[in-house]
C-alpha cells in the first residue's frame, strides 16, 4: 500500500489522494459571469505557487503521520489531525481556486496540473469554519481505532496479526468462526464516525461540483466518471468466468473437508473458511484444496526458514531484485528509518505501507515483517512503491505520483509475479531444483488462490462505497449492503447471522482509512499486462507463469523510463511506453493462468457451479 507525500497516513490519507489521474469537471465555485477569464500567465503563476506551498506543507504532514503510525498515542493522533486539517484546508482552497482557470487557454502542462489539483482530494472538506479540523479528527480516530483493535478469545487478548495467524492455520470451524467474529467485533463503534466522515466529504464534494464523493473518486482516470465505471465492468466480465471456476473447485474441496453442515456443496462459501480475514486471498487454504494427484510443489514458508531468513534479509532480498534490473540501491537512510519489524512497548500501524517523506530520497517502508511467503511477496510489492517514488522525483511536485493509482500498486505486484516463480527462487538460491512441468498446476493454483480470488473483492469495496456516498445505503443499511455485494461478486457469506449493530466494512483497513480501493483491482490487471510485456521484451520462450525478469537490465531500463514519467502524461501513454498497449486488458491474466483454467474446468465438470 502506498503512503506518499500528501497521501500520508491517517487523517491526511482520509482527505487527500495525491495527484494521480485527470478529468476536467466544471466546479460549483465558478467565477461570476462578468469576471474576466484569467490569463495563461496567471494560471502558470498560480500553479507554481500551489506546488511550492504543497511541497512545503507535505513534508510536515508526512512526518506527523509517520510518527503517529509508528507510535500511536493521544498526542501523536492530535498532531496528525492538526497536520491533516492544514493540508486538507490548503488542498481544498487550491482545488476551488484551480477551477477559476477552467476557461483559460493554458499551456498543456499547466492545464494538466490544474486538473490534477482539482482531483487531489479523497474527501474534500466543506468550506466552512471548523469542517477541516472535524474531518481530520474523525479520520485519525477511525484509523487509530482500527490499528489498536483487539478482542478476547479463549482468555487471550488478540490483535489482528494474532487473528490472521489463526485463520491461516486452523481447520477447526468453531475456532475459525469465533476468531472471525472476534475481529469483526472491533468495528461497530466506527459506524457513526464513518457516517459523519461520509456526510462531510459529500458536502465538500458537492461544493466542488460533483454529485458526491464517489463521483469525485471516479473522475481520476483520464476519462468520464461513468465511462470509468463501465470500464471496470468490462474488465470484470473478462475475469468472472475464471473466478467462478476457481470458486466452484474450492467450494467442492471445502465441502469434502468439512461436510455439508459446515460448507454445503452448492451456494456461497463461508467467509471464515478461506484462510483470510476478508476472504480476499485464499492461499492459506492451499493444503486443503491442493490437487489430489499432482507433481511436486514447494513450501516457500519452509524454504525461507531453512535458509535462515530474518525480516531484514527479506527486505534486502527485495531490494536486490530491483538492483539486478539496473536500478540503484535504496539510500542508507531507508535502513535506519524504516519500521521493518513490530517494535515492542508501543502501539503501531502494522498494515504494510511505503513512504516518501521528502519527495526526494527519504524513502521508507512500515511493516511488521514475518518470515513467510506472504511477507516475502509484500516486501517486493512495497519496494515497488519506493522505486516508483524515486524514479519520478525529478518531476514537478504535482506530477510526483503514479500515472494513476492502479499503476502505483501494480509496479510492485508486477515484480512480485517474478519473485514467486520457481525460476527466481532458484536464481537466488532459495531452491536448488525447480519443479518440472508437473509442478505447474500446484503453482498456478496457489497463485490463483491469491490473485484471482482477490479480483471481485478488489472491485466491490468501492462499489459499496459508491452506494454509500450516493445515499443509496443509509448507515443502518451499511452492513446489509456490504454482504449483498460480497455475495454477488465473491459468492461468500458470513459464518453466521450478523448483529444488528454490525459494521463489517469497518473491519477492513481501507474503509476506516478511507483509501480508494479500485486501484487494487486495476493493479491486479495491470501487473499481468506488465509481466506479459516484460517477458516478451526479455525474449522468454517458456510458459508465462515461469518467467522471471530478475537480472534483466534491458527490461529494467524500459520499466524505469515509464516510472520516471510519473503523472506527467495520461495513463494510457505510460502504459504504452512499457507495454505498447493503450487499453487495460485482462487477457494477460487469462494467458498466465490458461493451463489452470483448463484443469479447473475438468475438475468441476460434475459440479453445480455458481451461487
Catalytic pick from 184, 247, 380, 385?
385
Distance CA 14, CA 204 (A): 13
What would the grid cell of residue 570 be? 495520461
Q: How far apart are CA 523 and CA 372, in angstroms?
A: 23
What is the CA 117 to chain-centroid distance, rounded? 22
First to last CA, the chain: 32
Q: Please report where in the chains the cell 459523519 appears, as a residue.
A: 196
Query: Would you call 352 a catalytic residue per the annotation?
Result: yes
Q: Which three cell numbers stand for residue 479?
A: 452492513
Would you call 351 a catalytic residue per the annotation? yes
- 3-state SS of 362-431 is CEEEECCCCCCHHHHHHHHHHHHHHHHHHHCCCCCHHHCCCCCHHHHHHHHHHHHHHHCCHHHHHHCCCC
The set of residues, in sequence order, having a beta carbon less than 8 Å from that of 53 and lying 6+ positions away, is 90, 94
Q: Which residue in the list 247, 351, 380, 545 is annotated as catalytic? A: 351
Nearest-angstrom CA–CA distance, 511 and 189? 13
Q: How many Cβ atoms are within 10 Å of 212's Cβ, its own excluded?
A: 18
Q: What's the half-sphere exposure (Cβ side, CA atoms, 13 Å) at 55?
A: 16
> How many CA atoms lie less than 13 Å away from 45 in the CB half-sphere?
5
Residues 6+ apart with CB under 8 A from 453: 243, 246, 274, 279, 280, 281, 282
Contacts of 390 (CB under 8 A, 6+ apart): 328, 356, 361, 363
Q: Is 385 designated active site?
A: yes
Annotated catalytic residue within 247, 380, 510, 524: 510
Q: Provide the 8-state DSSP code for 544.
A: G
Residue 276 CA to residue 27 CA, distance in Å, equals: 42
Residue 169: C-alpha distances to residues 286, 387, 486 (Å): 11, 33, 24
Q: How far apart are CA 173 and CA 181, in angstroms?
A: 12
Choice among 86, 181, 374, 409 that is catalytic? 409
Catalytic option among 43, 136, 352, 410: 352
Distance CA 53, CA 62 (A): 14
Q: Is 251 helix (H, G, I), strand (E, B) or coil?
A: helix
8 A C-beta contact, residue 14 and residue 513: yes
Tally the residues of the chain: 611
- The phi and psi torsions of 338 (rounded to 5 degrees) equal -75, 155
Positive or negative, the CA dihedral 254, 260, 263, 264 is positive
Q: Are 573 and 556 a contacting pair, CB within 8 Å?
A: no
| Catalytic residue (one of 210, 221, 249, 520) | 520
Burial 534-549 (b: 16+ CB within 10 A, else e): bbebeebeebbbbbbb
* Residues catalogued as catalytic: 351-352, 381-382, 385, 409, 510, 520
Amino acid at each position: 500500500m502506498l503512503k506518499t507525500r500528501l497521501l500520508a497516513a491517517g487523517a491526511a490519507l482520509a482527505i487527500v489522494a495525491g495527484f494521480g489521474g485527470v478529468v476536467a469537471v466544471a466546479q460549483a465555485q465558478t467565477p461570476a459571469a462578468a469576471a474576466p477569464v484569467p490569463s495563461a500567465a496567471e494560471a502558470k503563476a498560480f500553479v507554481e505557487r500551489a506546488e511550492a506551498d504543497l511541497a512545503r506543507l507535505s513534508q510536515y504532514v508526512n512526518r506527523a503521520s509517520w510518527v503517529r503510525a509508528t507510535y500511536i498515542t493521544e498526542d501523536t493522533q492530535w498532531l496528525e489531525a492538526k497536520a491533516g486539517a492544514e493540508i486538507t484546508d490548503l488542498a481544498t482552497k487550491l482545488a476551488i481556486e484551480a477551477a477559476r482557470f477552467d476557461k483559460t487557454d493554458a499551456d498543456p502542462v499547466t492545464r494538466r496540473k490544474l486538473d490534477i489539483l482539482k482531483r487531489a482530494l479523497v474527501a474534500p472538506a466543506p468550506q466552512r469554519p471548523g469542517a477541516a479540523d472535524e474531518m481530520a479528527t474523525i479520520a485519525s480516530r477511525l484509523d487509530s481505532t482500527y490499528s489498536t483493535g483487539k478482542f478476547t478469545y479463549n482468555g487471550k487478548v488478540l490483535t489482528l496479526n494474532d487473528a490472521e495467524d489463526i485463520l491461516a492455520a486452523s481447520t477447526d470451524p468453531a475456532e475459525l468462526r469465533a476468531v472471525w467474529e472476534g475481529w469483526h467485533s472491533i468495528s461497530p463503534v466506527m459506524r457513526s464516525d464513518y457516517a459523519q466522515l461520509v456526510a462531510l466529504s459529500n458536502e465538500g464534494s458537492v461544493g466542488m461540483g460533483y454529485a458526491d464523493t464517489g463521483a469525485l473518486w471516479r473522475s481520476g482516470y483520464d476519462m468520464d466518471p461513468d465511462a470509468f465505471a463501465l470500464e471496470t465492468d468490462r474488465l470484470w466480465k473478462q475475469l468472472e468466468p475464471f473466478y467462478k471456476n476457481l470458486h466452484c473447485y474450492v467450494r467442492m474441496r471445502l465441502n469434502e473437508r468439512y461436510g455439508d453442515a459446515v460448507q454445503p456443496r452448492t451456494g456461497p462459501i463461508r467467509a471464515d473458511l478461506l484462510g483470510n480475514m476478508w476472504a480476499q486471498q485464499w492461499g492459506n487454504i492451499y493444503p486443503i484444496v491442493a490437487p489430489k494427484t499432482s507433481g511436486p510443489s514447494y513450501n516457500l514458508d519452509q524454504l525461507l526458514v531453512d535458509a535462515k531468513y530474518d525480516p531484514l534479509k527479506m527486505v534486502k532480498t527485495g531490494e536486490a531484485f530491483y538492483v539486478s534490473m539496473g536500478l540503484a540501491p535504496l539510500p542508507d537512510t531507508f535502513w535506519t528509518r524504516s519500521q521493518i519489524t513490530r517494535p515492542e512497548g508501543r502501539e503501531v500501524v502494522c498494515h504494510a505501507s511505503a513512504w516518501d517523506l521528502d519527495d526526494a530520497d527519504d524513502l521508507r517502508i512500515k511493516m511488521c515483517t514475518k518470515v513467510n511467503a506472504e511477507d516475502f511477496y509484500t516486501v517486493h510489492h512495497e519496494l515497488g512503491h519506493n522505486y516508483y517514488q524515486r524514479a519520478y522525483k525529478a518531476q514537478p511536485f504535482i506530477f510526483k505520483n503514479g500515472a494513476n493509482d492502479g499503476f502505483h500498486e501494480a509496479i510492485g505486484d508486477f515484480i512480485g509475479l517474478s519473485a514467486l516463480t520457481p525460476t527466481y527462487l532458484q536464481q537466488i538460491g532459495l531452491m536448488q531444483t525447480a519443479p518440472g512441468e508437473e509442478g505447474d498446476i500446484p503453482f498456478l493454483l496457489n497463485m490463483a488462490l491469491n490473485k484471482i480470488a482477490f479480483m471481485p473483492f478488489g472491485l466491490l469495496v468501492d462499489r459499496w462505497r459508491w452506494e454509500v456516498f450516493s445515499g443509496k445505503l443509509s448507515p443502518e443499511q451499511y452492513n446489509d449492503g456490504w454482504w449483498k455485494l460480497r455475495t454477488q461478486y465473491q459468492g461468500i457469506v458470513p459464518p453466521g447471522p450478523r448483529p444488528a449493530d454490525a459494521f463489517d466494512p469497518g473491519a477492513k483497513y481501507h474503509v476506516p482509512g478511507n483509501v480508494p480501493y479500485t486501484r487494487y483491482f486495476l493493479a491486479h490487471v495491470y501487473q499481468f499486462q506488465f509481466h506479459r510485456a516484460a517477458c516478451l521484451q526479455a525474449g522468454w520462450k517458456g510458459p508465462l507463469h515461469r518467467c522471471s525478469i530478475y537480472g534483466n537490465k534491458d527490461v529494467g531500463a524500459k520499466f524505469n523510463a515509464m516510472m520516471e514519467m510519473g503523472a506527467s502524461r495520461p495513463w494510457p501513454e505510460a502504459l504504452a511506453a512499457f507495454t505498447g498497449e493503450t487499453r487495460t486488458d485482462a487477457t494477460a491474466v487469462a494467458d498466465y493462468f490458461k493451463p489452470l483454467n483448463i484443469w479447473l474446468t475438468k475438475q468441476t465438470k460434475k459440479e453445480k457451479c455458481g451461487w
